[in-house]
Chain A
C-alpha cells in the first residue's frame, strides 16, 4: 500500500514567542484506505495536526506530502480538493441556508456545473440518509443530523481523505453512533482514507491504527487492541476506558485473575463463560 499522507519532522508554533510548539517534530505516514485515529489530551496538538494537513495552518519547519504532492502555497487548493474536513461544532460549519445549499457549497467553490451538482447533492444526501431533509433549514435539525449534512458536503466533493476533527464530540451517544456508522459505510463504499481526531473510545476502536499525542509529540502508535491494553494509562492519554477494560478492572479489584491482553466485548463474554464453565 502506498502512503497518501506523509508528515516529515513537522514543527508548528502559533506564536513565535510560544515557549512550547503546538507540534514538535511530528513524523507519520498514513496509507491509502486506512482509518487512523489520533487521540490525546486537550491541548496535545491533535487539531493543529489536522489543520496542517490541508494547509489551514502552514508548518514552521518540516514538510507535508498529500497524495505525492508536497503542500506549498501553489498547490494548496488542489490539496484541499483531496482532503475533506468535518469540524467539531455542527452549527458553526453550516454555511448554506438549507441542507441542499450547504451540501452544494463546496461544489460551487470548485465551479462544478449545476446539473452535475444537483445529481451529486442528491446522491450525497442519500448516502448519509438525509434525503428527506434536503430543503430544511439548519435550525430544524439535530446536532447529529447537521454533522451528517457536513459529511454529505464532504462526500459530494469526492475527496480521497476525510479528516474528522472531533466531529462527534458535541453529539449525544445516539448521534455519535449514527455519524460513525455513516462514515464507516462511506469509507467502505469509496475506499477513502479516514483520519479521525477524537476522545471517543468507539471511534478509536473502529480505527485500523491509533496514534497517541502528548504535548505536541507523537508518543505511541499501534492497533486499537495494543493501545487499549494499556488499561488505566488510557485515561492519562485522554481517552475513556472501553467497557471490557472497565469490567476487567473491577474484576481485578475483587481478586479475579483476568487476561492481560485487550478483549473486545465479544471476547470478554467468551472469556467469562468459558472461565465459569471451567471452574
Chain B
C-alpha cells in the first residue's frame, strides 16, 4: 500500500537538481506555487510548463514518477475541472442544459485549473523526489530560524521532525509485524463493512501506541544519557552549503517571474 505513494518519497541520484541546497529548492518550490497564480493566458501557462519540464529533465528522474504522483489526486482534479467547465458563464455558449452550461470561459478556466494542479504537483514531487527528508528538515529548521525572535521553539520542532522522520520506517516495520501477528491470531483486516473494518484496526492501533510510548521512554533515556540538555549550547554536525548553483537557481526564478509578467495580459 505504501509503495504506491510517490508523494514524500526520495529517489537517490546525482543530478544538478539533487545537488542543490535544500533551502534553495524549498524556497523555489514555494515560490513557484505562489507565482503560478499569476499566469492567466495560454502563453504564460506554456512558459511555466516548459520551465517545469526543463527542471524535471535536469533532475534525470523518470517522468513516470511524476505522472504516478498525480494519479492519487486525479479525481479531485477532474472534479474541480468539471465544476469550472460547467458552472462558469461568459463568452460564447456552446451548449446548455438546465444549470449546466459549456462556455468559452468555462472551457478555458477548466484547462488552466488543470494545468495549475498538474504543475504544482509536478514541482512539489520534484522537490521531494530529489531531496532526502533529512535535508528537507534541515532546510525547514534554517528557514524557521527568524521565528526564534518571537519565542517559537525552532530547535524543538526540528528535533521532533528529524526524530519523526527517522522512526517512520521503524514504525512501518512494526505495524507490518503487529498486523501479521494479529492475522495469525485470526484478525481479518480487509473483510466486512466499515464498522467491522474499524473494529479490526483496534488490535493494531493499541499495541502500536503502547510500543511507541515505550520507544519514546527508551529514546529519552538514551538521549539524556548522551548528554542532551535541550537546544542551548549545541553544535551541529550537518551544515548546509550555499553555492553558486543555488544562487543561479534563484536567478532563474527571477527570470521566470519577469517572463511571466511580460507574457500575462
Contacts and interface: CB of A to CB of B under 8 A. Distances in A.
Interface in A83-116: 83-85, 87, 89, 91-98, 100-101, 104-114
Contacts of A251: none
A107 B238 CA distance: 12
Interface string A104-146: 1111111111100110010000000000000001110000000
Contact of B221 (A83, A87, A112, A137): A87
A110 B235 CA distance: 8
Interface in A22-56: 51, 54, 56
Interface in B218-235: 218-219, 221-229, 233-235
Most buried by A among B214, B219, B237: B237
Instruction: Name B's interface SS.
Output: helix
Contacts of A243: none
B229 A77 contact: yes
Contacts of A216: none
Contact of A108 (B163, B165, B224, B235): B235
Contacts of A121: 237
A198 B48 CA distance: 63
Contacts, number: 94
B236 A114 contact: yes
A157 interface: yes
A81 interface: yes
A229 B224 CA distance: 39
Interface stretch (B16-24, B94-102, B166-174): B166-174
B239 A89 contact: no
A92 B234 contact: no
Range for the number of chain A residues in contact with chain B: 35 or more
Contacts of A105: 223, 226, 228, 237
Interface of B: 133-134, 162-163, 165-166, 169-170, 173, 214-215, 218-219, 221-229, 233-239
10 contacts: A89-B218, A92-B219, A93-B219, A97-B162, A106-B226, A108-B237, A111-B233, A117-B237, A139-B169, A139-B170
